C-alpha cells in the first residue's frame, strides 16, 4: 500500500493517458503521494474532479471561502475563530460512510505542516480481508452494517476523538439517519473484496443483536488496523495525497493546537450506492 509518484506537475492539465496511469496506481496501491506541488485552489479542484464528483462536506462552516467543494482542515484560529476543521477524524474511518452514496477518492493538499505530528495513517482493508480465515469470510460476506454519522467508539462531547458535532440543520440538509452498507464490499472498479468501514460510523449489523454486532465490528477493526496493515504519510509543504475509500480506513493523528497544520481536502463520491 502507498505509492509515491514523481515527475508530474498538477498545476498543468493532466492528459488522459497520464491520468489513467494515476487511477490504475490508486487502485493498485490505495494511497498516492505526489509531493511538492504548487497549486491554486481551483487547480486542486480541477485535478480532484477527475476522480469523481466532488461533494461539499456536511460541515459547511469549514468550506473554502470560494470553493464549497473544498473543506479547510486547519487548527489555525484567526480573530479567535477557527479557519477550518481542526481534526478531520482522529479515529479509523472511511469518508462519507454515513451517506447512502459514500466517498470514492479523497484528496488532501498540504499548505502548512506542523513541526511534529499531523501525519495521516491508512490501513489496508483489502489485504486484511484476504488474510481472514475462511470461516470468518463465510460468516461476514453477506452482512450489511448499520452506519450513522459519528465515531462509534468515542461519543464523549469533549474528547478530541469524537466526530465534530452536526447542527440540526446540517443533519436535516444531509438526510443524516441510519443507513446500511455491505460489511464486505467489492471494489467498484477492480471487484476486489475489502472490509468496509468496520470502524468509525458502523454502529451495528442488520438482523444481528447489538452486543454481538459490536463485538464482531470491534474484532474486525482490531484485526484490520494492526500495524502490519498500516501505512503512514508524513507531509511536506505542497504534498497531494489521494486515497481510495473503498480499500482503506484512515485516521488523522492528533496535532498540538499551537503547532499550525492546514490542508485543503476534497472528497469525491462513488458513482452509485454500493
Ligand atoms: C480526514 O480524516 O479526512 C483527514 C485526515 C487528516 O487530517 O490527516
Residue nearest to atom 6 of ligand 1 (CA): 252
State which of 89, 103, 109, 199 you would mutate to test the pocket of ligand 1, scoring each by most atoms of that ligand within 8 A of its C-beta.
89
Nearest atom of ligand 1 to the alpha carbon of 251: 2
The Å distance, Cα 142 to ligand 1 centre, comes to 30
- Domain containing 150 — which CATH number? 3.60.130.10
**Does 144 have pLDDT greater than 90?**
yes
Q: Which long-range contacts (CB under 8 A, 24 or more apart) does 116-119 make?
A: 116/256, 116/259, 117/253, 117/254, 117/255, 117/256, 117/259, 117/261, 118/235, 118/252, 118/253, 118/255, 118/259, 118/261, 119/232, 119/233, 119/234, 119/235, 119/253
Nearest CA to ligand 1 atom 8: 252
Given a cut of 90, whether residue 88 has pLDDT beyond it is no
> pTM score, two decimals?
0.96
Q: Quick one: pLDDT at residue 208?
A: 98
Give the list of residues 6+ apart from residue 199 with CB closer than 8 angstroms, or none: 91, 92, 93, 152, 153, 217, 221, 225, 249
Question: What spacing in Å lies between the alpha carbon of 70 and ligand 1's midpoint?
Answer: 13
What atom in ligand 1 is closest to the CA of residue 267?
A: 3
The whole-number average pLDDT for the span 38-59 is 96
Nearest ligand 1 atom to the CA of 118 is 8
Q: Measured in angstroms, how far is the CA atom of residue 11 from the centroid of ligand 1?
A: 23
- The answer to whether position 196 is within a domain reads yes
CA of 134 to the centre of ligand 1 (A): 33
What per-residue confidence (pLDDT) applies to 97?
98
pLDDT in tens, 188-237: 999 999 999 999 999 999 999 999 999 999 999 999 999 999 999 999 99
* C-alpha 233 to ligand 1 mean position (Å): 11
Which of 88, 248, 267 has most ligand 1 atoms within 8 Å of its beta carbon, as the pocket-test mutant? 88
Residue 173, in any domain of the structure? yes
Residue with CA closest to ligand 1 atom 3: 88
Could you tell me the sign of the dihedral formed by the alpha carbons of 233, 236, 241, 245, in that order?
positive
- Which residue range(s) make up the domain with 81? 3-269
Q: What is the pLDDT of residue 160?
A: 85
CA of 173 to the centre of ligand 1 (A): 23
C-alpha to C-alpha distance for 245 and 26, rounded to whole angstroms:
11
**What is the predicted pLDDT for the residue at 87?**
81
| For ligand 1, mutation pick of 33, 73, 106 (most atoms within 8 Å of CB) | 73
Residues with CB under 6 A from ligand 1: 73, 88-89, 95, 106, 120, 250, 252, 265
Atom of ligand 1 nearest to the CA of 87: 7
Cα(119) to ligand 1 centroid in Å equals 9
Mean pLDDT, residues 11-36 taken together:
97
Q: Evaluate whether residue 274 is within a structural domain.
A: no
**Does residue 137 belong to any structural domain of this protein?**
yes
Q: How far is CA 241 from the centre of its chain?
A: 11
Q: Specify if 262 maps to a domain.
A: yes
How many domains is the chain partitioned into structurally?
1
Amino acid at each position: 500500500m502507498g505509492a509515491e509518484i514523481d515527475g508530474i506537475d498538477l498545476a498543468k492539465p493532466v492528459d488522459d493517458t497520464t491520468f489513467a496511469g494515476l487511477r490504475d496506481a490508486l487502485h493498485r496501491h490505495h494511497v498516492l503521494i505526489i509531493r511538492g506541488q504548487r497549486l491554486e485552489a481551483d487547480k486542486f479542484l480541477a485535478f480532484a474532479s477527475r476522480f469523481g464528483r466532488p461533494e461539499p462536506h456536511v460541515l459547511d462552516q469549514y468550506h473554502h471561502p470560494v470553493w464549497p467543494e473544498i473543506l479547510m482542515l486547519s487548527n489555525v484560529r484567526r480573530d479567535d475563530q477557527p479557519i477550518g476543521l481542526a481534526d478531520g477524524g482522529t479515529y479509523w474511518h472511511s469518508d462519507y460512510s454515513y451517506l447512502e452514496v459514500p466517498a470514492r477518492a479523497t484528496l488532501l493538499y498540504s499548505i502548512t505542516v506542523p513541526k511534529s505530528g499531523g501525519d495521516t495513517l491508512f490501513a489496508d482493508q483489502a489485504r486484511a480481508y484476504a488474510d481472514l480465515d475462511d470461516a470468518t469470510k463465510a460468516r461476514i460476506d453477506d452482512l450489511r452494517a448499520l452506519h450513522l454519522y459519528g465515531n462509534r467508539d468515542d461519543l464523549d462531547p469533549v474528547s478530541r476523538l469524537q466526530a465534530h458535532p452536526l447542527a440540526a440543520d446540517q443533519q436535516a440538509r444531509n438526510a443524516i439517519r441510519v443507513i446500511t452498507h455491505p460489511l464486505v464490499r467489492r471494489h467498484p472498479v477492480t471487484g476486489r473484496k475489502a472490509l468496509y468501514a468496520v470502524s468509525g460510523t458502523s454502529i451495528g449489523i442488520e438482523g444481528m443483536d447489538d452486543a454481538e454486532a459490536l463485538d464482531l465490528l470491534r474484532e474486525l477493526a482490531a484485526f484490520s488496523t494492526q500495524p502490519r496493515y498500516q501505512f503512514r504519510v508524513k507531509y511536506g509543504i505542497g504534498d497531494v495525497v489521494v486515497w481510495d475509500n473503498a480499500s482503506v480506513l484512515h485516521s488523522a493523528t492528533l496535532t498540538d493546537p499551537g503547532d499550525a497544520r492546514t490542508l485543503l481536502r476534497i472528497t469525491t463520491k462513488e458513482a452509485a450506492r454500493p
